[in-house]
Structure 1
Amino acid sequence: MSEQQDGPDRDHRRPEGVTDEIVEALGALSKALETTERARGHLYSFHQLTGTADMELDQAVEMLRKAGHEEHAERVRREVLGRNVIPGHWTFQIVEAYNATYYEPFKELEAAVRQDLAQGRDHLYEAEMKEERRTHGHPDHTATPSSTPGPA
């Protein structure tokens, strides 16, 4: 098999005219978006954990009432249950604002830059790093999933 056939699939090959500098810049842009994806995941964790805690307050209120502490139960219900996490916002509103204000525009811009500079191809930097680091001919270092050899 030639090196050309043993390399990355077409979607992970650098288009003609794409320089090292462009590949590096697209790699940095992609990495920044991936970091944003992770931040967004943490934001969803915050949203779900806060919502779970708020729902658990129902049980705490009920238990305080059963234990004869109506005033504490009522205070928890009134002051914390259903409270905004920042003025005027529950966590779902923060998630929606983040998505609309930051995440979606960033995601769209990253895709547009990739389309303009590299025919929309993704992970060129990583694909080239894989080619540089893998051991050609080794069964656990194949270029693509479809090039994985069958059982001997």
Structure 2
Amino acid sequence: MTSERAEGRRPDGVDDATVRAVGALTEALETTERARGRLYDFHQLTGSADAKLGEAAKLLHEAGHVELADRLERELVGRNVVTGRWTFQLVEEYDDGYYEAFRGWERAVREELLGGARHVAEAEMKGRNTTPGEPGQDLNP
């Protein structure tokens, strides 16, 4: 089988342990990317729920339940999800803090140890698991 290593992704002199370690760091970042997506889901779902809550309060008001509707609007519509923050603020703090630091570290480690090459372990796995000449088994586009 052909190896992606021959394609030049792995810099000369980089050992397997380093490739595995950087691969583990990249995989951790990928998991963080998934978590970030869930945070954006939370942000959008919470905003959508708050808009629906406002509509429910309006309907309660129209149905003659004025005091209950007013209390609902006053006490729950637009409420902070955590002390002092709406979900957009959680997203911004996550992005600007933990997420940006994580991305920076992953990039810095790749730059220092692999010359910036991405997905070296996966590229080499593709090289090992590809059957030359078979349809859909091309190494490169």
TM-score (norm 1): 0.87
4+ aligned runs moved over 6 Å, structure 1? none
**Cα displacement string for residues 3-31 of structure 1 (whole angstroms, at most 9, x for unaligned residues):** 57xx4785x62110111001100110000
Q: Which has the higher contact order (CA 8 A, sep 6+)?
A: 2
Letter in 2 for 1:38: R
**Cα displacement string for residues 44-65 of structure 1 (whole angstroms, at most 9, x for unaligned residues):** 0000110111111221111001
* Equivalent in the alignment of 2:19: 23
Paired with 2:85 and 2:58, the residues of 1 have a C-alpha distance of 26
Paired with 1:29 and 1:89, the residues of 2 have a C-alpha distance of 31
Paired with 1:132 and 1:9, the residues of 2 have a C-alpha distance of 11
**Cα displacement string for residues 89-111 of structure 1 (whole angstroms, at most 9, x for unaligned residues):** 11011111111220001101110
1:120-135 alignment runs, 5 A limit: 120-135=116-131
Paired with 1:66 and 1:123, the residues of 2 have a C-alpha distance of 58
* Equivalent in the alignment of 1:74: 70
Letter in 2 for 1:118: L
1:106-117 alignment runs, 5 A limit: 106-117=102-113
Aligned residues of 1:27 and 1:123 also touching (Cα < 8 A): yes
Pick closer, same or farther for the CA change 1:37–1:87 going to 2, 3 Å. same
Aligned residues: 140
Paired with 2:19 and 2:49, the residues of 1 have a C-alpha distance of 45
* Equivalent in the alignment of 1:103: 99
Paired with 1:38 and 1:53, the residues of 2 have a C-alpha distance of 22
Residue identity (%): 53
Give the counterpart of 1:141 among 133, 137, 140: 137
* Equivalent in the alignment of 2:33: 37
Structure 1 position 55 matched with structure 2 position 51: yes
TM-score (norm 2): 0.93
